[in-house]
Structure 1
Amino acid sequence: MATTGAVASTPHALSAVALDRARFRKRQSSRSVLIALVSTVVFAVVVWIAVVNTPGWALVQQSFFDPKSAWEALPSVLLGLWTNIQVLFFAAIGVAIVATLLAVIRTLRAPVWFPLRFIATAYTDLFRGLPVLIVLYLVGFGIPALGVFPRVPAQVWGTIALVLCYSAYVAEVLRAGMEAVHPSQRFAARSLGLSHTQTLRLVVFPQGIRKVTPALMNDFVSMQKDVGLISVLGAVDAVRAAQINVAETYNFTAYVVAGLLFVLISWPMIRLTDWYTARAQKREQMGGVV
């Protein structure tokens, strides 16, 4: 019995074939990284030489990439960026709530829920088809013109417009994730005595979210970019601050500064999305050890 216990507790050792494959993959990975680094540097140098030798490069550099103008525009653009971040924060919360409700309503199958399903379907079809810019105009200028609501800042209407648009996209992503859960999971949960609401909350929704997390993260990155569109309503965000600076200095560098700041706030989520997608793919494709 003691011998059996000792054998059972011995860790599994990799075979010689597995070790050779691991060493080969490591060499291939190092070689690929080196080739990618060299090719990237060569490509960047070639592009730089080609751009700086164009006839109009001096004028473009002065108009779009002037360090002095960038430094002078940075404080006002940063202040406007804070408005974008605030709008993004509240819009993300609103999208999460509205999209979840829409996704749940569209998964209801009883005939009594048909009116709600029809409204949810019409909503998603409408706002997935309308451009965000048009929705911003309709909400930001149309609703205040009714004279029903009190005067509120433009960024509030911009937040509402973003919620209306992106909740339609996110709702369809959530619904796809929920419907990707095998029906046996629902049947098993109901057989254990869970109600429909408990089944959605404890069984279906967690599994569905896990399946569509990369798509949801990409939608969030897209919304980070479209937050800059609230400038069309007059909100002094990063884009509007850059536009004011350009009107004062007749130099377009402030637009480049605003664009780089948007990339800066989006980059962490982009990298996180890529990491999570690669991690999920690796887990799905993981095989046995040879």
Structure 2
Amino acid sequence: MTSPSPLATRPPSALELERRAFRRRQSTRSILIAAASTIVFAAAIWLLVINTPGWDAVRRSFLSPDTFVAALPRVWDGFLLNLRVLVVAAIAVAIVGTLVAVVRTLRGPVFFPLRALAAGYTDLFRGLPLIIVLYVVGFGLPGLRITEVRVPAEVWGTIALVLTYSAYVGEVIRGGIEAVHPSQMLAARSLGLSRGQALRRVVMPQAVRKMTPALMNDLVSMQKDVGLISVLGAVDAVRAAQIETARAFDFTPYVVAGLLFVLLAIPTIRLTDWYAARLRRREQSGAAL
């Protein structure tokens, strides 16, 4: 058995003890401030909301337990439709957005028409409100009678989501690609890799780390906007809540739908915050990404 080293058994210095005491005082102070601010916030909520004259009427209209339980199965069935649309749209947006970003980064005059088309696409669909895209796609494209088969409303809603969010995601991916120093591409090309190989094997792995937080924020935004497909008649969570509201004569079903969307978004939001903080710590510490 080896004896402990002198450094391991040496008592901490006076300066180290002072630092530890300071950290303990700071921790205790932070806990007390957090507790006091929580109490003040709860008191403000009670005074400004619960203690108001109209609180009982609002509670009956928006927070009825019986209506909540009765509406939950119907709203949940509609929410499952929102989840299916979200999964399909997220995959399609990732593919289309990547293609748009790659086209916009192409160099050479021969690719000018493609770059101009991609730029026009991103400008158009980033400028149009999503609900207008939903109306144009959901009610305009069926009027062309491209097919005799009736296409469900959720399909048109998915197409509108893909068209809109691919423009945003394409710009995020393009920004991530251009954030990688050009020397990385030049070094890869000097080793004999083609532009496509260099982009796939050298540039994109570095760009993904830079653009992941922004892409996850776009995913959170799309998780909420899938509820807008109800304007096309799809019986999703929002439309189901509207039906149950007309049946129960209060707005509690909308609260049910909103709560389901919040529960869907919270894991993605927390994951985004964790990844952004982790990336920031690595960059500040100088560690390799």
Task: Give the TM-score normalised by structure 2.
Answer: 0.90
Q: Does residue 208 of the first structure (1) align with residue 207 of the second (2)? A: yes
Percent identity between matched residues is 66
Cα 1:221–1:21 change in 2 (3 A) is: farther
Question: In structure 1, what is the Cα distance between the partners aligned to 2:227 and 2:129?
Answer: 14
Q: Secondary structure of the residue that 1:108 maps to in structure 2?
A: coil
Question: In structure 2, what is the Cα distance between the partners aligned to 1:281 and 1:26?
Answer: 26
Task: Give the TM-score normalised by structure 1.
Answer: 0.90
Question: In structure 2, what is the Cα distance between the partners aligned to 1:107 and 1:228?
Answer: 33
Partner of 1:126: 124
Q: Secondary structure of the residue that 1:271 maps to in structure 2?
A: helix
Provide the aligned length of Structure 1 versus Structure 2: 276
Question: In structure 1, what is the Cα distance between the partners aligned to 2:72 and 2:157?
Answer: 24
Q: CA deviation at 1:26?
A: 6.5
CA RMSD in angstroms, aligned pairs only: 2.2
Q: CA deviation at 1:159?
A: 0.5
Partner of 1:278: 277
Question: In structure 1, what is the Cα distance between the partners aligned to 2:198 and 2:24?
Answer: 45
**Structure 1, gaps ≥5 residues long:** 1-9
Q: CA deviation at 1:24?
A: 4.7
Q: Secondary structure of the residue that 1:278 maps to in structure 2?
A: helix
Deviates more, 1:241-250 or 1:144-153: 144-153
Question: In structure 2, what is the Cα distance between the partners aligned to 1:34 and 1:212?
Answer: 38
Superposition pairs for residues 228-267 of structure 1, below 5 Å? 228-267=227-266
Q: CA deviation at 1:36?
A: 2.2
Cα 1:21–1:72 change in 2 (3 A) is: same
| Letter aligned with residue 140 of structure 1 | G
Question: In structure 1, what is the Cα distance between the partners aligned to 2:161 and 2:73?
Answer: 26
Superposition pairs for residues 111-150 of structure 1, below 5 Å? 111-149=109-147, 150=149
Partner of 1:183: 182
Partner of 2:61: 63
Question: In structure 1, what is the Cα distance between the partners aligned to 2:194 and 2:24?
Answer: 50
Q: CA deviation at 1:151?
A: 1.1
Question: In structure 2, what is the Cα distance between the partners aligned to 1:19 and 1:159?
Answer: 61
| Letter aligned with residue 105 of structure 1 | V
Question: In structure 2, what is the Cα distance between the partners aligned to 1:112 and 1:20?
Answer: 68
Question: In structure 2, what is the Cα distance between the partners aligned to 1:193 and 1:287?
Answer: 30
Q: CA deviation at 1:44?
A: 2.0
> What are the superposed Cα offsets for residues 42-86 of structure 1, whole Å, 9 maximum, x if unpaired?
302321232122121111111011111111111111111000000
